[in-house]
Structure 1
Amino acid sequence: MNIINNLLGKIIYFVAKSISFVLDSLIRLIVTIVIFIKSVSKGLLVLLSMGGCLFFIFFATWGLRILLDPMGLLIVMFFIVFPVLASIFVSKLKYFKYVVTEYLFNLSNYVTDKNKYTYKSINDYKTAYRKAEEEKIREEQRRQYEQQRQWQEQFFKQHWYQQGSQGNNGGYEGQRGYSLNPNAEFKSKYEKSCDVLGIPFNSEKSQIKLAYRKKAKENHPDLNKDPGATRRFQEITDAYEFLSDENIARYRNL
C-alpha cells in the first residue's frame, strides 16, 4: 500500500511540476510580447513627437489611411488592446498556477504520508491567494502613504526653513518660532502613534513590535468581525510604520 501511495504521490508531484513549468513559460512569453509591443509603441510615439509638425502631416495622410484600412485599424487596435488584455490574462494565469500547483503539491505530500501532512482543499488555496493579494495591496498603500508622508515632511521642513530665513531680520525669537513647527508636528504625530499602540512615548523598538503584534492580532479583520476592526487595524499598522528606528532616534533627540 505504501508503495502505491508513494508512486501516486510522485505522479501527482510530476503533474504539478509540469503544469508549473508550462504556465511559467506561457506567462514569460506573454510578458515578453507585451514589453516588446509597448517598446515599439513608445518608440513610434517618440519618433513622431520629435518630428513636430511632421506628426500632424503624417497623421493627416498616412495616419488616416491606416485607420480607414481594416487591416491597419486591426493592427492599431492590437497594439492598444493586447497589452491590457494580456495583463488581465497573466493575472488570471498566475492565480490559476498558484491554486492548482499548490493544491497538487499538498495532495502529493498528503498521499505519500498522511500522518505528516494535512489535506487542504482547493478552496483553501483560493482564499490564501486572495488574502496574499489583499496584503500586497495594503503593503502598496502603506508604501505610498510613507512616501507621501516623507514628501510632506520634507516640504514642511523646507517651507519653515525658508520662512525662518526670511524672518531672520525680525529677530531671533521670530526665527525660532518658525523652526520649531516641523518638530512640534512630528512630536505630536509620534506620540499619537504611541497612544494608538498603547505604549509609553519612550518605548524601545522591541516594545513597539510586541504591542503592534498584540493590537494587530486583536483587530485583524479576519479574526475580529467588528465593523470598525478594519479601520483600527489600518490605524495600528500606520502607527507601527511611523514608529521606525529613524523616527525613534529623531524623537529622542528633540
Structure 2
Amino acid sequence: MNIFNKIWGKTLYGIASVTSVIFDVFIGIVEFIVGLVINIGRGFLALISMGGCLLIMVLGPALLLNPMTFFTILFLVIFPILGTKFVSYLKYIRYMITEFLFDHADNLINGRKAEFGSFNEYGNKYKRMEEEKRRKEQQRRQAEEQRQWEERFRQWSEYQNSQRGSNYGGYGGYGGNYQNAGYGNNYVNPNIEFKSKYEKSCDLLGVGYDSDKYQIKLAYRKKAKEYHPDLNKSPDATTMFQQINNAYEFLSDDNIERYKSIR
C-alpha cells in the first residue's frame, strides 16, 4: 500500500508540474497580447495628441462612423481591462489546482498532511495572500507618499528660514543658494496643494473636513463596499474603488493633524 501511495503521489506531482508549465505558458502568452494591445493603444493616443485630432476633424463622420474604426477603438479600450482580469483569474486557477496537487502528492510520498482538502480552500488561501499583498503595497505607497510630503514641508520650512535670514541680512548667501537650487520666488508653498488634496479626499469619501479618523474609516468602508468591483458591475467601479482607497490612504492620522494645523 505504501509503494502504491508513493507511485500515485509521484504521478500527481508530475501532473501538477505539467499543469503548472501549461498555465505559465498560457498566462505568458495572454500577458504578452494584453501588453501589446496596451502599447498600441498608447501609440494611438500619442498619434492623436501629435496631430491626429486635426485628421479626425477633417475626415469627420466618415472616419468616426466607420464600423472598423468603432470596433478598433472599442477593442483598444475594453480588451486590456478584460485581459488583465482574465490573467488574474488564470493565476488564481493555476494556484488553486497546482497547490492542491502538489500538497496531496507530498502527502502520499512523504506522509505530510495536506493543508486543505478541497480546491476551493486553496483558492480562498490564494485570495487571502493577494489581499495581504495588496495591503502591504498600499502601506508601502502610503509610507512613500508621506515621506515625500515630509520632505516637501522640510524644504519649505528651510526656505522660509533662509528668506527670513536674508531679510535680516544674516544669511544672504544661504538664501541665494536656495534660489539657485530652484527654491526662489517660484517655489510653491506645499500647504496649498496639501490642503486641496485633503479636502478633495474628504469630498470623495463624503465626510466633513473636520472629521476624525473614526468617521473617515466608517465612510471609507461604506464607499469601498459600494464600489467594490466584485459587488458593483458598473464600468467605472474599479476606477472609483481605487480612488476611494487612495483618498483613505491620504487621510492618515498624521495628515489629519497636519490639516488641522494649517487650515
Fold match (TM-score > 0.5): yes
Whole-angstrom distance in 1 between the partners of 2:72 and 2:4: 54
Structure 1 residues 142, 72: CA separation in 2 closer, same or farther (over 3 Å shift)? Answer: same
Question: Does structure 1 residue 72 correspond to structure 2 residue 69?
Answer: yes
Q: How does 1:223-242 map to 2 (within 5 A)?
A: none
AA aligned to 1:11 is: T
Deviation for aligned residue 1:171: 8.6
Q: What corresponds to 2:241 in structure 1?
A: none
1:43 partner amino acid = G
Q: Given residue 159 of structure 2, which amino acid in structure 1 is its aligned partner?
A: Q
Query: How many Å separate the matches in 2 of 1:42 and 1:78?
Result: 13
Question: Share of identical aligned residues, percent?
Answer: 34
CA shift in 2, pair 1:162/1:64, >3 Å: same
Mapping of residues 54-203 of structure 1, within 5 Å: 55-62=52-59, 64-114=61-111, 116-118=112-114, 120-121=116-117, 122-168=119-165, 169-170=167-168
Query: Structure 1 pair 68/85, CA: closer, same or farther in 2 (3 Å)?
Result: same
Distance 1:22 1:118, change over 3 A: closer
Is the alpha carbon distance of 1:11 and 1:61 closer, same or farther for their aligned partners in structure 2, counting shifts above 3 Å?
farther
Structure 2 unaligned regions, length at least 5:
171-251, 254-263
- Corresponding residue number in structure 1 for 2:214: none
Matches of 1:144 and 1:56, distance apart in 2 = 36
Q: Is the 8 A contact 1:9 1:109 kept in 2?
A: yes
Task: Tell me whether 59-68 or 26-35 shows the greater mean CA deviation.
Answer: 59-68
Contact preservation (8 Å) 1:67, 1:73: yes
Cα displacement (A) at 1:127: 2.9
Tell me what 1:23 maps to. 23
Residue 120 of structure 1 aligns to a residue whose secondary structure is coil
**Aligned: 1:38 with 2:38:** yes
Provide Cα deviations, 1:29-86, integer angstroms capped at 9, x if missing partner.
11111111111222222233222xxx23321355643432333322221111111000
Distance in 2, Cα, partners of 1:164 & 1:119? 61
User: Quick one: structure 1 residues 63 and 137, their matched pair in 2 at CA, closer, same or farther if it must change by over 3 Å?
Assistant: farther
After TM superposition, give the deviation of residue 96 of structure 1 in Å. 0.7
1:218 counterpart residue number: none
Name the CA shift for 1:119/1:152 in 2 (closer, same or farther; >3 Å): closer
Which amino acid in 2 is paired with 1:89?
F
**Would the aligned equivalents of 1:103 and 1:125 in 2 still touch at CA under 8 Å?**
yes
Q: Which residue of 2 aligns with 1:3?
A: 3
Give the TM-score normalised by the residue count of structure 2.
0.59
Cα 1:75/1:47, change in 2 over 3 Å: closer
Q: Report the residue type matching 1:120 in the other structure.
A: F
TM-score, with length taken from structure 1: 0.60
Cα distance in structure 1, aligned partners of 2:7 and 2:105: 10
Amino acid at match of 1:80: V
Q: Is the 8 A contact 2:93 2:123 kept in 1?
A: no
Q: Is contact 1:16–1:105 with CA below 8 Å preserved after alignment? A: yes
Question: Does the aligned pair in 2 maintain the 1:110–1:119 contact within 8 Å?
Answer: no
Closer, same or farther: CA 7–63 of 1 in aligned 2, 3 Å: farther
Query: Distance between the aligned counterparts of 2:137 and 2:8, measured in 1?
Result: 41
Cα offsets for 1:95-153 (capped at 9, x unmatched): 11111100110011112233x34452234322321221121111111111111211111
How much is the aligned-residue C-alpha RMSD, in angstroms?
Answer: 2.5
Contact preservation (8 Å) 2:56, 2:63: no
Partner amino acid, structure 2, of 1:98: Y
Decide whether the 8 Å contact of 2:13 with 2:102 is kept in 1: yes
